């Protein structure tokens, strides 16, 4: 980074971040926020507004990067407490978030893949089979994800625990210098494409994302519509498969890998595999742990074991059978950095809802679409729902906070109920690609260091437009064919 | 460690730890626990008993060390969840504990002292003035602590944030190899003595420990006794000063430093200080931050800034003015290790109370002392209160859970109210030295690696007997003179 450039200087980046927060802070608190806040004791218009200002500063500082994200997170926590916006207890609550510890466990599982060299071996196997073209590799990862997705509701576990370790190993064997310097050789493209493709995959099956059943439940409660597993799948399959087909091609153009073709890949991989010889004992241990955790992620819900506990069981096993030492755990710096900034984001995003900003925002949308045709009204609602995810660090929290309210408004202005319920439910997965804190897998992918933040946000925004066109446009036609409207 | 020795082998240490947990688990749940549990919805006899078993395993494994403490902590969390004793949410709750983040901040502040070499300089200043004898050094640290204690209610901040960085630096400049290998050169003695001396110091003033005002409040509520700041101080000053006078002498005999006299210390220190030259800019920055945090710890309560927030303000400032980089924060492995095991201990100890084990235990004590003379009854109550701290990871939680109940029993059997209220309140500080998780400063001191766990527990137990003799024996006589009984 050239610190000589004024726009990269601390004065500019810190100044703009603080200015953005300060402007929001100094704006008068809207009267409508006071009205919304009065309805529920936990809400508080004044504190909600200060939180919004600190949130705005944090996001600005995450993007402009005057300081590392962890420093910004500590500053945000301190500001929340000294402005009396939150007590120190609630301000630290993100650190015990269960998704947080699934993410941290994913980093440890990835370390196990790297340390045992199993990740390397699997990468060579992928290279041998699909490695001639980087594009082909991306499709092979997406296909793998699609296969396990209906059975594995935690997209964080799928991306962070299953695909991330393999792609990361593959990136490291392919890229000579896998650090930020050579962002685009292979790892950046593969990680970002697979991550973005996980959003339509999450949207394709009711059981492919943790918040999907919640949306079904809310739809039943709020507008009395029943969505079945098959109905969901049929409605989603066409836009879903189209998205998965075109997404790698688009990113291949926009955010190309530096190495596109390696005709000799199969040969190299074969040679490397021969060099590695047969599976070592520690690799076999890691395979055993991996399949145990995979089975727990798939079937754990039947015996009441959630995704975080499943991952922690894997971590304990790795430690007990000496795949990892506790020293490895302490050394996993990315885990601790992610802990600090993501816990802070999760906490702030949750409090935006609790203190009243999100309900107030939903109310504004409701008033705005009043009197429009249902098509126009629904388009606005869908886009607002989509892009309001910049304010969220969890799909589940976003669905809990806004899905029901916006669905009710959509139906009230005349949108066909099943159409509205399904398309908003699909968006509840798609928006998870917007930012590096948007959903549990995002900080894992981002933590790899392969994708710079401005690239992450920029390309993610372009992809979100593609998602909207395919799902609301083509999807809309398909749902017409299905008779949803 | 000699792994050849059977008693140090994994089979033995893991086997015994698991056996202890299993035995507790297989014991029939006492009928009386069911009765106690029925009274309050949050309690549950079956789950409480399983928690007790897992707690027993954890403590045994912490002592016998089949695995690192962090591994044991992960195992405990997993076992709690898969036995349905706790949900994954409550099982992770310790990670957002506010004292937890004060401890973590203390490690970062200590890193600031080390990195800027300010700790080294202050150590040489202490050496120059008191350094001829190691014993003299220990008294100088105790005196410094005593002076700030009435104004600084967080003993974790006092020990972890103020004294620890200096003693640790001093140990590092004095000891050639400051790691576990040469446990006792200087650092072990100084750290352990100053830590243990913090317990009587915390007991000496109503404002020297966070849970003291809570005890005053509970005494007022439960037995209608008013304790004033001056009353407290007068009652505590005699046993307090006697303890501080003899404690370093006792540990000097029992747990002696290897280097006892360094007649040339003043000369060496003087020379080193000359070598260091005048204060560097970064040292001046660190001094400024240190005094800012010290002032916040002392006066923060008047402006509603708690000890954790004060420490985080210090951490943010260190990061913003480049005393620390965020890389230093991520690298602070001891902080992350302590996070994992101490958060787990805090969580389990809190849940022992919530699920009903502690209320059940108080009930047993009440029944046991029924019909005894008040002197005998009170002695039993005091000792039970003291040593039940093996089950706690926070003075505040222990005071909340047991102080009121035991005080009521003591007064009911005829103990003079003010006498009972004060002596139990003093014990509420003294028991903080028992284990390496007993109070916030304990994991910080333990985390330094200077004191092996078996030494920590063993000498702490001996010191606890000394504390009891001085406070209940000599203190009892003094309180007789004061007319408390």
User: How confident is the model over A424-461, as pLDDT tens digits?
Assistant: 999 999 999 999 999 999 999 999 889 998 899 999 99
Q: CB contact, 8 Å: B333 with chain A?
A: yes
Residues of A in contact with B319 (CB under 8 A): 67, 71, 74
Residues of B in contact with A92 (CB under 8 A): 96-98, 101, 308
Please check the confidence at residue B180 and state whether its pLDDT lies above 80.
no
Please check the confidence at residue A260 and state whether its pLDDT lies above 90.
no
With CA atoms as reference, the chain A residue closest to B76 would be A316
Task: Test B309 with A98 for CB contact under 8 angstroms.
Answer: no
A341, A72 Cβ separation under 8 angstroms: yes
CA dihedral A180, A181, A186, A187 (to 10 degrees): -10
Q: CB contact, 8 Å: B299 with chain A?
A: no
C-alpha A225, offset from chain centre? 28
With CA atoms as reference, the chain A residue closest to B315 would be A74
Residues of A in contact with B447 (CB under 8 A): none
Residues of B in contact with A82 (CB under 8 A): 305, 309, 313
Please check the confidence at residue A467 and state whether its pLDDT lies above 90.
yes
Task: Test B88 with A309 for CB contact under 8 angstroms.
Answer: yes
Tokens matching residue A249: 């091609």
Instruction: Give the three-class secondary structure for A261.
Output: strand
Please check the confidence at residue A210 and state whether its pLDDT lies above 90.
no
Give the closest-approach CA distance of B91 to chain A in angstroms.
Answer: 9
User: Is this prediction's pTM over 0.80?
Assistant: yes
Residue with tokens 């490695």: A131
B/e letters for B248-277, b = 16+ CB within 10 Å, e = fewer, are bebbbeebebeeeebeebbebbeebeeeee
Q: At what angle do helices A118-130 and A281-299 cross, to 10 degrees?
A: 80
pLDDT band at B208 (very low <50, low <70, confident <90, very high): very high
Q: CB contact, 8 Å: B304 with chain A?
A: yes
Among partner residues A101, A330, A337, which is closest to B337 by beta-carbon distance?
Answer: A330
| Mean pLDDT rounded to a whole number for chain A | 91
Q: CB contact, 8 Å: A319 with chain B?
A: yes
**Residue B176: its pLDDT value, please?**
53
Q: CB contact, 8 Å: A67 with chain B?
A: yes
Q: CB contact, 8 Å: B300 with chain A?
A: no
Please check the confidence at residue B1 and state whether its pLDDT lies above 60.
no
Q: CB contact, 8 Å: A3 with chain B?
A: no
Residues of A in contact with B326 (CB under 8 A): 67-68, 70-71, 337
pLDDT band at A183 (very low <50, low <70, confident <90, very high): low
Please check the confidence at residue B398 and state whether its pLDDT lies above 50.
yes
Task: Test B308 with A88 for CB contact under 8 angstroms.
Answer: yes
pLDDT band at B430 (very low <50, low <70, confident <90, very high): very high
**Residue A178: its pLDDT value, please?**
46
With CA atoms as reference, the chain A residue closest to B100 would be A92
B451, B187 Cβ separation under 8 angstroms: no
Cα–Cα dist B480/B483, whole Å: 5
Give the closest-approach CA distance of A334 to chain B in angstroms.
Answer: 8
Give the closest-approach CA distance of B438 to chain A in angstroms.
Answer: 21
Instruction: Give the three-class secondary structure for A133.
Output: strand
**Residue A239: its pLDDT value, please?**
97
DSSP state of A29: P
**Shortest CA distance to B399 belongs to which of B366, B432, B355?**
B432
Q: CB contact, 8 Å: B75 with chain A?
A: yes
**Residue A52: its pLDDT value, please?**
96
**Residue B153: its pLDDT value, please?**
83
Strand partners, A261: A133
Residues of B in contact with A304 (CB under 8 A): 84
Among partner residues B92, B329, B331, which is closest to A98 by beta-carbon distance?
Answer: B92
Taking the alpha carbons at both ends of chain A, their separation in whole angstroms is: 52
Among partner residues A68, A308, A330, which is closest to B333 by beta-carbon distance?
Answer: A330
Tens-place pLDDT, residues A275-320: 999 999 999 999 999 999 999 998 988 898 999 999 999 999 999 9
Query: How large is the average pLDDT for residues B129-156?
Result: 89
Tens-place pLDDT, residues B23-52: 999 999 999 999 999 989 999 999 999 999
Give the closest-approach CA distance of A429 to chain B in angstroms.
Answer: 23
Task: Test A70 with B330 for CB contact under 8 angstroms.
Answer: yes
Please check the confidence at residue A24 and state whether its pLDDT lies above 60.
yes
Q: Which residues 98-117 on chain A approach chain B with CB closer than 8 angstroms?
A: 98, 101
Query: How large is the average pLDDT for residues A94-106?
Result: 93
Query: How large is the average pLDDT for residues A217-236?
Result: 92
Residue of B78, B79, B293 to mutate, interface with A, max A Cβ within 10 Å: B78
Sign of torsion over alpha carbons B2, B5, B9, B13: negative
Residue with tokens 């701290």: B389
Give the closest-approach CA distance of B311 to chain A in angstroms.
Answer: 10
- Of B172 and B331, more confident: B331
Task: Test A304 with B68 for CB contact under 8 angstroms.
Answer: no
- Phi first, then psi, for residue A348 (nearest 5°) are -65, -45
Distances (CA, A) of B376 to A159, B182, B369, B372, B382: 64, 44, 8, 6, 10
Please check the confidence at residue B417 and state whether its pLDDT lies above 70.
yes
DSSP state of A471: I
Distances (CA, A) of B427 to A337, A484, B395, B418, B420: 40, 71, 10, 14, 11
Specify the range with the lowest mean pLDDT, choosing from A236-240, A305-309, B7-11, B446-450: B7-11
Task: Test B78 with A316 for CB contact under 8 angstroms.
Answer: yes
Query: How large is the average pLDDT for residues A344-369?
Result: 91
**Residue A127: its pLDDT value, please?**
82
Among partner residues B68, B75, B316, which is closest to A78 by beta-carbon distance?
Answer: B316
pLDDT band at B204 (very low <50, low <70, confident <90, very high): very high
Q: CB contact, 8 Å: B331 with chain A?
A: yes
**Residue B2: its pLDDT value, please?**
45
- Of B356 and A8, more confident: B356
Residues of B in contact with A97 (CB under 8 A): 92
Among partner residues B77, B96, B309, which is closest to A95 by beta-carbon distance?
Answer: B96
Cα–Cα dist B294/B308, whole Å: 12
B307, B162 Cβ separation under 8 angstroms: no
- Compute the radius of gyration of chain B from its Cα atoms: 23
Q: CB contact, 8 Å: A329 with chain B?
A: yes
Q: CB contact, 8 Å: A52 with chain B?
A: no
Please check the confidence at residue B473 and state whether its pLDDT lies above 90.
yes
Residues of B in contact with A101 (CB under 8 A): 92, 95
Residues of A in contact with B325 (CB under 8 A): 68
- Compute the radius of gyration of chain A from its Cα atoms: 23
Task: Test B330 with A337 for CB contact under 8 angstroms.
Answer: yes
């Amino acid at each position: 980074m050239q610190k000589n450039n004024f726009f990269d200087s601390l004065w500019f980046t810190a100044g703009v971040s603080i200015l953005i927060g300060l402007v929001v802070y100094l704006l008068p608190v809207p009267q409508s926020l006071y009205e919304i806040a009065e309805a529920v004791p936990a809400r508080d218009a004044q504190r909600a507004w200060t939180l919004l200002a600190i949130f705005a500063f944090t996001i600005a500082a995450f993007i402009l990067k005057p300081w590392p994200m962890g420093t910004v997170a500590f500053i945000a926590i301190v500001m929340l407490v000294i402005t009396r916006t939150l007590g120190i207890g609630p301000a630290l609550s993100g650190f015990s978030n269960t998704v947080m510890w699934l993410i941290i466990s994913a980093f440890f599982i990835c370390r196990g893949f790297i340390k045992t060299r199993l990740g390397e071996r699997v990468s060579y196997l992928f290279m041998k089979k699909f490695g001639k073209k980087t594009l082909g590799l991306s499709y092979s990862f997406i296909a793998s994800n699609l296969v396990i997705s209906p059975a594995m509701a935690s997209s964080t576990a799928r991306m962070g625990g299953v695909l991330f370790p393999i792609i990361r190993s593959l990136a490291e064997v392919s890229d000579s210098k896998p650090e930020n310097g050579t962002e685009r050789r292979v790892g950046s493209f593969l990680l970002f494409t697979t991550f973005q493709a996980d959003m339509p995959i999450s949207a394709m099956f009711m059981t492919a994302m943790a918040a999907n059943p919640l949306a079904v439940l809310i739809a039943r409660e709020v507008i009395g519509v029943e969505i079945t597993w098959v109905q969901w799948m049929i409605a989603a399959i066409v836009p879903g498969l189209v998205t998965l087909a075109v997404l790698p091609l688009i990113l291949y153009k926009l955010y190309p890998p530096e190495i596109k073709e390696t005709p000799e890949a199969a040969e190299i991989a074969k040679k490397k595999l021969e060099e590695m010889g047969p599976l070592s004992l520690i690799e076999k241990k890691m395979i055993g742990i991996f399949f145990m955790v995979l089975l727990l992620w798939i079937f754990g819900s039947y015996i009441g074991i959630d995704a975080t506990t499943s991952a922690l069981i894997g971590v304990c096993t790795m430690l007990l059978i000496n795949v990892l030492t506790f020293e490895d755990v302490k050394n996993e710096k990315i885990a601790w950095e992610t802990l600090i900034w993501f816990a802070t984001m999760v906490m702030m995003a949750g409090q935006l809802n609790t203190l009243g900003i999100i309900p107030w925002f939903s109310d504004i949308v409701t008033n705005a679409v009043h009197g429009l045709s249902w098509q126009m009204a629904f388009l606005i609602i869908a886009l607002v729902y989509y892009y309001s995810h910049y304010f969220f660090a969890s799909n589940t929290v976003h669905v809990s906070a806004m899905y029901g309210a916006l669905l009710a408004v959509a139906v009230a202005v005349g949108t066909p109920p099943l159409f509205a319920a399904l398309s908003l439910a699909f968006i509840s997965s798609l928006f998870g690609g917007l930012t590096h804190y948007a959903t549990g897998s995002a900080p894992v992918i981002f933590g790899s260091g392969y994708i710079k933040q401005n690239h992450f946000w920029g390309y993610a925004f372009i992809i979100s437009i593609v998602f909207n066109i395919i799902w609301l446009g083509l999807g809309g036609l398909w749902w017409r064919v299905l008779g949803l409207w």
